Amino acid sequence: MKRIVYLSFYFKPDLCAGSFRNSPLAIELAKQTLDKNVILDVYTTLPNRYSTFDVDAQEYEEVDNLRIHRIALPAHKSGMLDQVIAFWHFYNSVWKLNQSKNADLVFASSSRLFTAYLGYKLAKKCKAPLYLDIRDIFVDTMNDVFKSKLVKILIVPLLKIIEARTFNYAKHINLISGGFKEYFHRFKSPKYSYFSNGIDEEFISRNRSIESGEASNACKLIVYAGNIGEGQGLHRIIPQAAQLLGNEFKFLIIGDGGAKKQLQAEINNRGLINVILNNPVSRDELQSYYDKSDFLFLHLNDYPAFRKVLPSKIFELATFNKPIIAGVSGFSAEFIKNEVSHSFVFDPCDAIQLAEYLKNSKSKSIIDRHEFVDKFRRSKINKVMAESMVNYL
């Protein structure tokens, strides 16, 4: 009996990109290995992405050869120290559960490096191949987002050592964005692939993508759903744009995160009544909000590290028959311009550029993104990616 260890800090029913990517990928991998005498052990956490979204999940599930181990974490509110404590608890728990077990392949999907590092430690202990799925360049992000000299002098160099050990040990690294390619040239040992995020079937089955692009709201509704953190920089764009646009436009922000209080403070300071903040909702409920919108919104803060990324939210939004407005740069800006019709890309944090576009936007348009949807179905991407993982058994 062979055994695959699958590491993902987030998994269904949690609400975040890591969960949406890894839940169906693990199911596809289990399916492909069902008749190969393989056990797939997924180690993840009980839902914890947002303190304002509470959903029940089993600590242990078993379906055929798929076994899901969900680890309970201390309560946290997305602060940096909270996240460090939560991950340390996850790391120790997974290590203890695998201390006396062997593995024939270790897979880790990681955005913050340390899930990848845990994969490296387990793979090294078991003398097993390590397959990494990298969703963000954590060292780059830390260097840009945190201005503290302590971070830059002490923490970033330490992270670079951890990064080098982890990535140089890996047999295979999948980069979720082609924008990461140049950064990873320094790590010569692994084989590389570029399986991106994709579109989930629940969005494909519901949406037609061919009708009029805007709803008939008297006040034009712009909807954002997702994390509200420093990385998204909503506090640097939405209050400013809302003030310029006035009450002919309304922003609906659905989500939670470390910068939500900062966003709320900016809204309050400006006395805005055309920005509404809602807590996270289920994906079914979220789709109804998208349906009622006139525009769908995406934004990343103005940091060099974010010029390399490819946000998973693009794939979700592009299934709806709505214009997409995106404050992004670099690789993601080029991707949207080349792949997503009826989209407008503006410079991150440029409220004037955003407001001018919205004021001059046309009221009606026909939107058909069937080619995009077919090209980026998550099921197609997962099938090929799982096949590449099985090759290392």
Q: Find tokens 């097993």 and name the residue.
A: 128
Prior bond of 13 cis (ω within 30°)? yes
pLDDT of residue 348: 98
* Cα(19)–Cα(11) distance, integer angstroms: 4
Q: Is the pLDDT of residue 240 over 90?
A: yes
pLDDT at 76 over 70: no
pLDDT in tens, 252-302: 999 999 899 999 999 999 999 999 999 999 888 999 999 999 999 999 999
Over residues 357-381, mean pLDDT: 90
Contact 287, 203 (CB under 8 A): yes
Residue 55 pLDDT grade (very low, low, confident, very high; cuts 50, 70, 90) = confident
7-28 confidence digits (pLDDT tens)? 999 999 998 899 999 999 999 9
> Which pLDDT score is estimated for 20?
95
The DSSP-derived string for 248-308 is GEEEEEEEE-TTHHHHHHHHHHHT-SSEEEE----HHHHHHHHHH-SEEEEE--S-GGGGS
Tokens standing for 373? 């949807």
Burial of 63 (0-12, 13-18, 19+ CB in 10 A): exposed
d(Cα 306, Cα 141) in Å, to the nearest integer? 8
User: Per-residue pLDDT for 212 more than 50?
Assistant: no
pLDDT tens-digit readout, 149-181? 888 888 999 999 999 999 999 999 999 999 999
**Dist. CA 164–CA 181, nearest whole Å:** 15
Sheet holding 220-227, edge to edge: 275-278, 249-256, 220-227, 295-299, 324-327, 343-346
Quote the percentage of the chain above a pLDDT of 70: 94
Do the beta carbons of residue 193 and residue 175 sit within 8 Å?
A: yes
DSSP state of 181: T
Q: What is the mean pLDDT of the chain?
A: 93
The neighbour count for residue 331, using CB atoms within 10 Å, is 18
pLDDT band of residue 209 (cuts 50, 70, 90) is very low
Helix (H) or strand (E) holding 6: strand 2-8
How does residue 146 score in pLDDT terms, banded at 50, 70 and 90?
confident
pLDDT above 90: residue 64: yes
CA distance 103 to 326: 42
**What is the reported pLDDT for 192?**
98
Helix (H) or strand (E) holding 334: helix 330-339
As given in the structure block, the two tokens for residue 365 are: 């348009």
Q: Is 77 helix (H, G, I), strand (E, B) or coil?
A: coil
Dihedral sign of CA atoms 228, 59, 175, 381 in order = negative
Strands (E), 111-248: 130-134, 172-175, 191-193, 220-227
Whether 218 shows a pLDDT value over 50: the answer reads yes
